Amino acid sequence: MKTQDLTKHCGTAIEGVQLARLEGEALDRVREIAYRRGVAVFRDQDFGPEDHIAFAKRWGGIDINNYFPLTDEHPEIAVVRKRKDQTMNIGGGWHTDHSYDQVPAMGSILVARDLPPSGGDTLWAHMGAAYDALPDETKAKLELLEAFHTADHIYAPDGIYAKTDQGGELRGKDLKTGATHPVVVRHPQTGQKLLYVNPGFTINFAGRSREESLPLLQELFAHAMKEEFQCRVGWEPGTVAIWDNRTTWHYAMNDYQGHAREMHRITLTGEPLAA
Ligand SMILES: O=C(O)CCC(=O)C(=O)O
Ligand SMILES: [Fe+2]
């Protein structure tokens, strides 16, 4: 196994591994890289839907996403799709998947299935590096804070997607979500301190209104969005990415209008988060 870090803080490309056969100690090494570097990227994978599901089960549990369409044959696999005549994509803003769940998903395994001729990259940002770089006064302010997360403003009938051409295919419009998590969490496996608020799903600090929360939230978002914490992955047929939702945010570029893009995602079960 050969590894190459994508940027100083975020992402590692792993060579010499076929995920379909990965197990045991080598799998544990990949886990560790995903936990610490936020995203592990694999090229030239022979990785069909059955391999995808079997690998996710070797990793741990599978969470079924309540909103994305599922493949007919495999309800474990969510389809992240933009048809060529759609203008809105999925995940086109910085976010952390499932932070609105009481027990947020650990991460995801995303597989490229149909790619535009160019564009459609995915960006990740490392929330451990972002936390470490905060001024000490800000770190002190965050110490005992908790924040409320929900997905209702995104997926509800009057939510963001419903107003776009992605609205039709999404499920779960009547679901209500909400969870409160510490603003700084410890990574369950590595113990690293991570900034755990995100622009997609975090609404307010516990005990404060949205209005009272916005100035500090926006300060944190602007800080964490800095390019120095990011890495970027261009997809090719056979590319697979495994990311950790606690360690990172991610962002799907929407710069391929007039072309289709389809990815298969399996969401990996996580554990409760604590400060
Ligand atoms: O399509 C992508 O690159 C990522 C989309 C996304 O946010 C997700 O699958 O969670
Ligand atoms: Fe996402």
Q: What share of the chain in percent tops pLDDT 90?
A: 87
pLDDT in tens, 252-263: 999 999 999 999
Q: Which of 10, 121, 8, 105 lies closest to 56 in space, CA to CA?
A: 105
pLDDT in tens, 104-134: 999 999 999 999 999 999 999 999 999 999 9
**Residue located nearest, by CA, to atom 2 of ligand 1:** 252
CB 181 within 8 A of CB 190: no
pTM listed for this prediction: 0.97
Ligand 1 in reach of 97 Cβ (< 6 A): yes
pLDDT band of 170, cuts 50, 70, 90? confident
Q: Residue 166: what pLDDT?
A: 86
Ligand 1 in reach of 265 Cβ (< 6 A): yes
Q: How far is the CA of 96 from the centre of ligand 2 (A)?
A: 6
Q: How far is the CA of 257 from the centre of ligand 1 (A)?
A: 17
The size of the chain, in residues, is 275
CA atoms within 13 A on the CB side of 137: 1
Integer angstrom CA distances of residue 204 from 13, 216, 219: 35, 10, 13
CA atoms within 13 A on the CB side of 243: 27
**CA 163 and chain centroid, separation:** 23
**Residue located nearest, by CA, to atom 6 of ligand 1:** 91
Atom of ligand 1 nearest to the CA of 95: 7
Beta bridge partners of 80: 263
pLDDT in tens, 178-199: 999 999 999 999 999 999 999 9
Kindly state the helix (H) or strand (E) to which residue 180 belongs, with its residue range.
strand 179-182
Ligand nearest to the backbone CA of 261: 1
d(CA 65, CA 86): 21
Ligand 1 in reach of 242 Cβ (< 6 A): no
pLDDT band of 72, cuts 50, 70, 90? confident
Kindly state the helix (H) or strand (E) to which residue 128 belongs, with its residue range.
helix 127-132
Kindly state the helix (H) or strand (E) to which residue 268 belongs, with its residue range.
strand 261-268
Ligand 1 in reach of 91 Cβ (< 6 A): yes
Q: How far is the CA of 122 from the centre of ligand 2 (A)?
A: 10
Ligand nearest to the backbone CA of 111: 1
User: Could you please report the per-residue DSSP string of 95-137?
Assistant: B-TTTTSSS---EEEEEEEE--SS---EEEEEHHHHHHTS-HH
Q: Residue 217: what pLDDT?
A: 98
CB 270 within 8 A of CB 140: no
Strands 122-126 and 248-252, how do they pair? antiparallel
Q: How far is the CA of 207 from the centre of ligand 1 (A)?
A: 31
Q: How far is the CA of 235 from the centre of ligand 2 (A)?
A: 16
- Is 202 a residue whose pLDDT tops 90? yes
**Residue located nearest, by CA, to atom 5 of ligand 1:** 91
**Residue located nearest, by CA, to atom 4 of ligand 1:** 252
Ligand 1 in reach of 120 Cβ (< 6 A): no
Residue 67 has φ and ψ, to the nearest 5°, of -115, -40
**CA 50 and chain centroid, separation:** 22
pLDDT band of 31, cuts 50, 70, 90? very high
Ligand nearest to the backbone CA of 108: 1
Ligand 1 in reach of 109 Cβ (< 6 A): no
- What is the rounded radius of gyration, in angstroms, for the C-alpha atoms of the chain? 18
More confident residue, 162 or 204: 204
Domains of the chain from N-terminus onward: 2-268 (3.60.130.10)
Ligand 1 in reach of 112 Cβ (< 6 A): no
Residue 148 has φ and ψ, to the nearest 5°, of -100, 135
d(CA 173, CA 271): 25
DSSP at 116: -
The one-letter amino acid at 191? G
d(CA 275, CA 272): 10
Enzyme catalytic residues: 95, 97, 250, 265
